[in-house]
A and B are shown apart, each in its own frame.
Chain A
Amino acid sequence: MEYVIGILLLVSFFGLVVYAVRGGNLMLGIFVMGIIWTVLPMVGNMLVTNPDFIAANKEAISITWTEALQKVFQSGPEGWGSVLVNVVFGAWFGRVLMKTGIASTLIRTTTELGGDKPAITCILLCIVTTACFSSIFGAGAVVAIGVIVLPIFMSLGIPKVLATCAFMLSVGAGMFVNPVLYGQYSAFFLGEDGKTLYPYEQHVSWGIYALLIQVAVVIIMVAVLSREKKVHSWAATAPASAKKRRGDNAPGIALIAPIIPVLLLIVFKVPIILGFIIGSFYALFTCGKIKNWSQTCRMVNKDFFDGVVDTAPLVGFLLMLPMFNKAAELCVPYFNALLGGIIPNNTLVISIVFAVLAPLGMFRGPFTLFGCGAATLGILKGIGFSTAYLAPLIIIPSTVMNVSCCITQSWIIWGVNYTKVSTKEYLKLSTVVGWIICIILQIMVYVMFG
């Protein structure tokens, strides 16, 4: 019986993969999967007869329907609530950086350092982009910075595909230490008491190297590929926003604002929400935006509102995802029964598989936590690897292949549409580069935690 359930679970899993690859709405797809993965193991729990299986999973399969439903549909999204709060504060911070003109000033100043040398300017801008996205999170911010950076890349004669790819990979590199993205990951590693087993310090201990490696690979990519024939195009760009220009003169001292929250967190262990608040007010203060109480109130109100709107598209998905994650936990005994014998209990083999098959992290596949990876993680957890090893193992393809490379990522869809590169051309470059990054990072993680 447990095999039948296990096979049905796998079939539905591949159903989701096909659905995701075909571009189906993921929010509802994930929700339906949450239901299927709750019902199947629960029905299985009632029907299993194999005494060995029952003995091995006594606790897991004695869960009642009420408990299961509570776990999946109530505690799941509730647990994610704390992540959501971080996302909102992060989006507000992003808004402030745009509004004060700090982001655009930073980009302009950087461009003035590099001038017309495509490689130098592009590399410097990639580094600045990474720095910005080590704190900021959200499609709104990526778009706001992208509409400044991408036209500069293209006016320097950098081919569109390379420009888009370099920008998106730079955004993704910053995500390795981004506290908001970390928050989303940490929710996959909760202990019995609901506290995370995967603290931020642990994450940064390898994330900072991952960031540096991804930036280094981007730099090499730009240095090699920008030597190709220069492209000069006559194109019109819709003005980013009517108010773009006004803010290009933030004072030098304000320009460190983007990394304040993450710096405070890493160095002084200042909680991230407080970090965002300090960062935001530092930005507003140094840019002379704080004049009097009522004006400050209005401004903060407005920025917060805009920040929340920025995160809105993500919220629905973020609240459905945990149902699926929790449901995946119910399925662990069945996956173990089916795959436990096949999946080796050896970190070296697992690391090699994750390195070699890294592109499975694309199209919401089994190696990304923002897709079916939640189930993969459930299976691997069942086998009993340590969190310190398991977390980076699956976060690498999630951050590199999904967040930095895949066209199912909201802001990458935007970028590809904005620069008009064909998705095929884009994926050709991004997949290869992402794959290389994954291989390097998996080797690093194996050495550090394997």
Chain B
Amino acid sequence: MKYVISEMMEELIKLDAMEWGGYAFYHEPLERKFTEEQKKVYIRKANACGEQEAEELLKEYPDTGIKALAEDMGFTVKMPKTPAGGGHVIFAQYVEPKEITVFTDCVEKAEKLIKKEHLTSLLEGIDLTEVLLAHELFHGIEYRKRKEIFTQTEKIQLWKRPFSNRSRILCLSEMAAMAFAKKMTGIHCSPYILDVLLMYAYNEEAAEALYEEILEAAGIREREEEC
């Protein structure tokens, strides 16, 4: 093992929205289509979009838990146990049009981990379930507002004229959902840290690899070149 989880968390908490944006674009299938400058603009706009949605909602529902809020908005919230390790761990999902699921197994595992590794002070005030719910809730809102919300209407032309195939940019939704969840739950760091925290609860090596990938994507660490 190369890292201690508390060490990784400490580092990740320091990352700002711009750096997490780098990580989001790292997983964007259309990443090669954008210049660094364009990416920066997109990161800013996506974050603003998520925050704005959160602000509007907070005005409408002050001091309401996310679950109650989601249910009040007409979403069905499910909480089964499900995941079981491996290279691809699913935390939560949203199924169109109104079903939100949080898989409690990973939440329980992560909470145990937080206790065991004394991460409580580091992750002060973070309710994992709420964060996951909020993220998925954003996708639900996105779906309802798909005609006007930035993350759904912003498109990129993929084909050369006279052909046309305009595509959404998937990572914008993700960044906005994270910004939304951060604002809604009032936590002090990006919800993206859950990628490493929750993965660590299942597979420490994979979490470490993910951590390295994040630092590299955020432009903090150079990748060691292999010959």
A237 at the binding interface (Cβ < 8 Å)? yes
Asked whether, in the complex, the Cβ of A229 is within 8 Å of the Cβ of B32, the reply is no
Residue of A nearest to B131 (CB): A234
- Complex alpha-carbon distance, A111 and B134, angstroms: 29
Complex A-B: 27 CB contacts under 8 Å: A113-B159, A115-B166, A115-B168, A147-B87, A150-B88, A155-B170, A156-B170, A231-B94, A232-B139, A233-B90, A233-B91, A233-B94, A234-B90, A234-B91, A234-B92, A234-B136, A235-B89, A236-B88, A236-B210, A237-B88, A238-B87, A238-B205, A242-B209, A242-B226, A418-B88, A420-B82, A420-B84
A428 at the binding interface (Cβ < 8 Å)? no
State the total of A-B contacts with C-beta under 8 angstroms: 117
A243 at the binding interface (Cβ < 8 Å)? yes
Q: State which of B93, B95, B167, B213 has its C-beta within 8 Å of the C-beta of A239.
A: B213
Of B5-13, B14-22, B43-51, B195-203, the one contacting chain A is B195-203
Asked whether, in the complex, the Cβ of B206 is within 8 Å of the Cβ of A235, the reply is no
A286 at the binding interface (Cβ < 8 Å)? no
Which residues of chain A are within 8 angstroms of B86 by Cβ–Cβ distance? Answer: 417-418, 420
Asked whether, in the complex, the Cβ of B226 is within 8 Å of the Cβ of A243, the reply is yes
Asked whether, in the complex, the Cβ of B97 is within 8 Å of the Cβ of A248, the reply is no
Asked whether, in the complex, the Cβ of A238 is within 8 Å of the Cβ of B88, the reply is yes
B189-227 Cβ-contact flags toward A at 8 Å (1 or 0): 000001110110001011001101100000000010110
| B190 CB, min distance to chain A CBs, angstroms | 13
Q: Which 3 A-B pairs have the closest CB atoms?
A: A115-B167, A238-B206, A233-B93
B29 at the binding interface (Cβ < 8 Å)? yes
Instruction: Tally chain A residues at the interface, Cβ within 8 Å.
Output: 35
A152 at the binding interface (Cβ < 8 Å)? yes
Which residues of chain B are within 8 angstroms of A234 by Cβ–Cβ distance? Answer: 90-93, 132, 135-136, 177
Asked whether, in the complex, the Cβ of B87 is within 8 Å of the Cβ of A229, the reply is no
Q: State which of A113, A115, A242, A420 has its C-beta within 8 Å of the C-beta of B88.
A: A420
B158 at the binding interface (Cβ < 8 Å)? yes
In B55-107, which residues have CB < 8 Å from any A CB? 82-84, 86-97
In A140-192, which residues have CB < 8 Å from any B CB? 147, 150-152, 155-156
Other A-B pairs, 6, CB within 8 Å; known A112-B33, A243-B226: A230-B95, A234-B135, A235-B88, A236-B196, A245-B223, A420-B90
B27 at the binding interface (Cβ < 8 Å)? yes
Which residues of chain B are within 8 angstroms of A245 by Cβ–Cβ distance? Answer: 26, 223
Which residues of chain A are within 8 angstroms of B27 by Cβ–Cβ distance? Answer: 151, 155
| A444 CB, min distance to chain B CBs, angstroms | 34
Which residues of chain A are within 8 angstroms of B210 by Cβ–Cβ distance? Answer: 236, 238-239
A381 at the binding interface (Cβ < 8 Å)? no
| B44 CB, min distance to chain A CBs, angstroms | 21
Which residues of chain B are within 8 angstroms of A235 by Cβ–Cβ distance? Answer: 88-91
